[in-house]
């Protein structure tokens, strides 16, 4: 299903790479790939028509740091995403090198942690993943850090414009072997948080609607206390309208937890899907545009895996060139960078050996598609929002990725395959504050940008990529 296009990575050094995030780094409206380089430079890979080139300045490249995780979100409400980079020089506990939180100010990227007023807030614990959390749905996000052997942190800007760790007041200041994070309205109407942990039970933090969270993992049947969690993704695996969770356990049984009723989960992973592996990133996405998401498992030092919903069950698929039996996978992300309506998959490698990045594209077919980019009131990607597509008697559901399945963050776009169906009944957007919008009968094969004000004084912006694969 996936074809090797790594030759399109024109700047692709052989080095240790880890996390990947998809965000608009240069502010031109197109998304780039931010790749965390461990001990070497971070990369910002931009599609420029014939391939990807590195456009990172020396500040973002930050050579010599040990970056492993990265995610983006709008911290200050200016409509442009900030970029949080986790630097980790130890397995657990305290570390020497602090994280970076890059904010675009006065025409340059500024590390907010380097400002005098924020240095006392610096995270000096061994972080593993970062996600962006909008507790109350106002379009201003905080950065949630899953530390390993240290307390969870949630950084927000206070009224004085200083970074403050509000995890204690939010009910999130717990210590564990934090690994993967997914954040979306999973069991409430607001943004909930699931954390896959190592050497301890998982967390499922339900948003109580007042800016605080309560851990309901045990009650929900998803604590899985004897496994070692890694990558996690949210999807509607059985088409019932509720979001489910698929995640990997390091050399343990992988899980596909179906939400049977609100807040109650049951593992239905098949023997093939649950088979233990050295798993890292987990991605749910419709690579072939047939209208059903596939599940991708990225492993380190073992073949990758791909599963698809076929004839009423999850079945192993031929992954094609992306098998990578000797690949030292550390992270992966998806996006449609060339604007052809088919997803690209980029895989990072490292940890136990230096390898270049690899890039894959799904095989060409005639299936139709629709892509939806919802925006916050401030104009930034509405990470955590829910998008539903109604067509052909089915409802497809997507959550805009807030990070960080494991070290990585996907594009902030809801990608829908339509198969051979060209008639779409409607698209619905559900923002984190409860606001909804319904777009009747959009045309297929386009990117729809949905402003927060849609339904009041604005219409969907029909966006088309300025680039087409040659």
Tokens (6 digits) for 185: 């309205």
Whether 398 and 282 map to the same domain: the answer is no
Instruction: Note whether residue 458 is domain-resident.
Output: yes
Whether 38 and 60 map to the same domain: the answer is yes
List the CATH number of the domain containing 246.
2.130.10.10
Whether 339 and 425 map to the same domain: the answer is no
* Cα distance between residue 102 and residue 107, in whole Å: 12
Instruction: Note whether residue 468 is domain-resident.
Output: no
List the CATH number of the domain containing 441.
2.60.40
Whether 357 and 439 map to the same domain: the answer is no
Look at residue 457 in the predicted model and tell me its pLDDT.
59
Instruction: Note whether residue 470 is domain-resident.
Output: no
Contact 270, 246 (CB under 8 A): no
Look at residue 90 in the predicted model and tell me its pLDDT.
79
Instruction: Note whether residue 224 is domain-resident.
Output: yes
Contact 360, 322 (CB under 8 A): yes
Tokens (6 digits) for 72: 């983006």
Whether 181 and 290 map to the same domain: the answer is yes
Whether 140 and 237 map to the same domain: the answer is yes
What total of structural domains would you count in the chain?
2
To the nearest 10°, the Cα dihedral for 353, 347, 151, 157?
130
Look at residue 149 in the predicted model and tell me its pLDDT.
84
Look at residue 454 in the predicted model and tell me its pLDDT.
86
Q: Domain residues for 206?
A: 2-362
In degrees, to the nearest 5, what angle opens at C-alpha 110 toward C-alphas 34 and 12?
25
Look at residue 460 in the predicted model and tell me its pLDDT.
76
* Cα distance between residue 453 and residue 242, in whole Å: 26
Contact 384, 191 (CB under 8 A): yes
Whether 90 and 126 map to the same domain: the answer is yes
Whether 299 and 424 map to the same domain: the answer is no
Q: What is the reported pTM?
A: 0.96
Look at residue 96 in the predicted model and tell me its pLDDT.
83
DSSP 364: P
Low-confidence ranges of the chain (pLDDT < 50): 464-470
Instruction: Note whether residue 58 is domain-resident.
Output: yes
Whether 318 and 390 map to the same domain: the answer is no
Q: Is the peptide bond before 468 cis (omega within 30 degrees of 0)?
A: no
Instruction: Note whether residue 412 is domain-resident.
Output: no
Instruction: Note whether residue 408 is domain-resident.
Output: no
* Cα distance between residue 127 and residue 407, in whole Å: 9
Instruction: Note whether residue 198 is domain-resident.
Output: yes
Whether 141 and 253 map to the same domain: the answer is yes
Whether 333 and 299 map to the same domain: the answer is yes
Whether 111 and 229 map to the same domain: the answer is yes
Look at residue 468 in the predicted model and tell me its pLDDT.
26
């Amino acid at each position: 299903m996936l074809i090797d296009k790594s030759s399109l990575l024109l700047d692709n050094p052989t080095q240790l790479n880890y996390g990947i995030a998809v965000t608009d780094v240069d502010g031109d409206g197109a998304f780039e790939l931010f790749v965390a380089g461990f001990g070497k430079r971070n990369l910002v890979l931009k599609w420029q028509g014939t391939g990807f080139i590195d456009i990172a300045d020396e500040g973002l490249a930050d050579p010599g740091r040990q970056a492993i995780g990265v995610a983006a979100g709008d911290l200050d409400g200016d409509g442009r995403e900030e970029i949080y980079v986790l630097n980790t020089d130890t397995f657990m506990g305290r570390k020497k090198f602090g994280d970076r939180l890059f904010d675009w100010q006065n025409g340059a990227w500024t590390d907010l942690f380097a400002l005098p007023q924020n240095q006392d807030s610096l995270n000096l614990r061994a972080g593993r993943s970062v996600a962006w959390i909008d507790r109350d749905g106002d379009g201003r996000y905080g950065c949630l850090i899953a530390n390993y052997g240290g307390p969870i942190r949630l950084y927000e800007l206070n009224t004085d414009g200083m970074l403050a760790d509000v995890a204690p007041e939010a009910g999130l200041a717990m210590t564990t072997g934090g690994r993967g994070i997914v954040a979306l309205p999973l069991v409430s109407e607001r943004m909930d948080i699931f954390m896959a942990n190592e050497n301890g039970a998982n967390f499922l933090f339900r948003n109580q609607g007042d800016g605080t969270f309560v851990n309901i993992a045990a009650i929900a049947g998803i604590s899985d206390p004897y496994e070692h969690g890694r990558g996690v993704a949210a999807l509607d695996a059985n088409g019932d309208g509720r979001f489910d969770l698929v995640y990997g356990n390091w050399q343990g049984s992988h899980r596909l937890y179906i939400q049977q009723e609100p807040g109650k989960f049951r593992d239905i992973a098949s023997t093939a899907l649950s088979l233990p592996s050295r798993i890292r990133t987990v991605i749910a996405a419709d690579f072939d545009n047939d209208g059903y998401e596939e599940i991708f498992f990225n492993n380190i030092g073992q073949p990758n895996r791909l599963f698809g919903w076929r004839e009423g069950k999850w079945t192993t698929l031929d992954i094609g060139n992306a098998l990578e039996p000797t690949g030292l996978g550390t992270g992966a992300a998806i996006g449609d960078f060339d604007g052809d309506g088919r997803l690209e998959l980029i895989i990072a490698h490292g940890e136990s050996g230096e390898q270049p990045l690899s890039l894959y594209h799904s095989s060409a077919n005639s299936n139709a598609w629709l892509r939806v980019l919802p925006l916050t009131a401030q104009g930034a990607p509405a990470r955590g929002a829910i998008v539903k597509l109604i067509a052909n008697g089915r409802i497809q559901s997507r959550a805009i990725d807030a990070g960080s399945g494991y070290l990585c963050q996907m594009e902030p776009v809801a990608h829908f395959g339509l198969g051979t169906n060209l008639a779409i009944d409607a698209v619905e957007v559900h923002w984190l504050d409860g606001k909804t919008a319904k777009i009747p009968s959009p045309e297929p094969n386009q990117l729809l940008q949905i402003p927060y004000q849609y339904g009041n004084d604005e219409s969907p912006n029909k966006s088309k990529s300025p680039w087409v694969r040659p």
